[in-house]
Structure 1
Amino acid sequence: MFSKTKPIGCPLTNKRRLDDVDDKILSYLSRDARISNRRIAAELNITEGTVRSRIKRMLDEGLMRITAVTNIDKLKNPCLAFIWIDVDHSGDCERIAQQLSDIPEMGFVAKMLGRFDILAITLVQDPEQLTGFLHTNISTIKGIRRTETSLGVNFVKHDYRVSHIVD
């Protein structure tokens, strides 16, 4: 899988903008990260060396990363658990978010503006597994005032490439 690493709504720390060729390369990689540089080059009518150097530059500059992800469509009973968290003191938000992100099963952690301080997302098989996960992993973190959870059980659309940035 491919993803751009710029968080949505956050300014780029690296001022380089992706050009049209970069975007086209990323488009191919987002559909199949195993596609060969040679095939991308042939499709875009550029050299394989150009594809290779652009991918290397984007990786080196942290503009993208290539990784494997679980296809949740193939799991028996996948449920995305959304865990909305209120913290006791705003000064603890960074520490708590970091502790949550250190939990291997946690797939997403973000500090939020609005009703809750933190949103954490993990994948579970059923409500009982979520309950055990909350008691074992979340309730043990000092400074959490309360949590509210919801389960996503029927996926209408699931696109791994949710980090595609709209210009």
Structure 2
Amino acid sequence: MTVTPQGGPAPKPVRLDDLDERIVWELMRDARIPNAALAARLHVAPSTTHARVKALREAGIIRSSHVEIDYAALGLDVQGIVSVRLRAQARPQIKSYASKVIQLPNVLSVFFVGGTIDFLIHVACVSTAQLRDFVATELSMDPVVASTETNIVFDHLIGQEHLGSGGLAAMRGPIR
């Protein structure tokens, strides 16, 4: 059985028809689109998109909607990606480490990855000094951590902001 990062069973793959895929695509492009506008864009009745979106949520395809934040406008001018490698003996604590780190105030995202590192941690800070202190005290000092490496983020482009009209089929298609 496959499990989610939260420890529950993973949702079973759901087969989507063309309309469901178009709805998901449009919501990926703009999760705030009003239902009436979504229906108009897809040339269907608003009741159809409403029912379909509800079904997609219940099936676990749409898990949430997000607001994209301009962290610099909030005084968090520095973002970093911190690579974290755990000690070999700490492998049993991978889930508990991720659960602890995601709750730290400066952490935006935690990615559990394969390869020579275990985690990529996206953080936002007010300065490079705060970033240095955060990595040194909150991440590196943890006894399960073997090493960290910090990269400063110069620019962050969000894929959904740049989605064209190719749809999910284009994402599944061959790379040209």
TM category, shorter: 0.7 to 0.9
Alignment of 1:17-32 (within 5 A): 17-32=15-30
Partner of 2:28, secondary structure, is: helix
Question: In the alignment, is residue 66 of structure 1 matched against residue 65 of structure 2?
Answer: yes
Partner of 2:160: 161
The alpha-carbon distance between structure 1 residues 107 and 100, as it changes in their structure 2 partners (threshold 3 A), is: same
Contact 1:96 1:141 in 2 (8 A): no
The alpha-carbon distance between structure 1 residues 16 and 93, as it changes in their structure 2 partners (threshold 3 A), is: same
Question: In the alignment, is residue 109 of structure 1 matched against residue 123 of structure 2?
Answer: no
CA RMSD in angstroms comes to 2.8
Q: CA deviation at 1:121?
A: 1.2
- Residue type at the aligned position of 2:17: D
Q: What TM-score results when the alignment is normalised by the length of structure 1?
A: 0.77
Q: CA deviation at 1:109?
A: 1.2
Partner of 2:54: 56
Partner of 1:62, secondary structure, is: coil
Greater strand share, 1 or 2? 1
Gaps of 5+ in 1: 1-5
Gaps of 5+ in 2: none
Using the alignment, how far apart are the partners of 1:19 and 1:74 within structure 2?
A: 40
Deviates more, 1:40-49 or 1:14-23: 14-23
Contact 2:80 2:122 in 1 (8 A): yes
Identity %: 23
- 2:42 pairs with one of 34, 44, 66: 44
Contact 2:11 2:59 in 1 (8 A): no
Greater helix share, 1 or 2? 2
User: How many residues align structurally?
Assistant: 155
Which structure would you say has the larger RCO, counting Cα contacts within 8 Å and 6 or more residues apart?
1
Partner of 1:66, secondary structure, is: coil
Structure 1 outlier segments of 4+, above 6 Å: none
Contact 2:81 2:121 in 1 (8 A): yes
Q: CA deviation at 1:14?
A: 2.0
Q: What TM-score results when the alignment is normalised by the length of structure 2?
A: 0.73
Deviations 1:58-83, CA, capped at 9 Å, x for gaps: 11222112122213575667433111
Deviations 1:111-134, CA, capped at 9 Å, x for gaps: 222111222111234321201212
- Residue type at the aligned position of 1:14: K
Partner of 1:33, secondary structure, is: coil
Partner of 2:33: 35
Partner of 1:15: 13
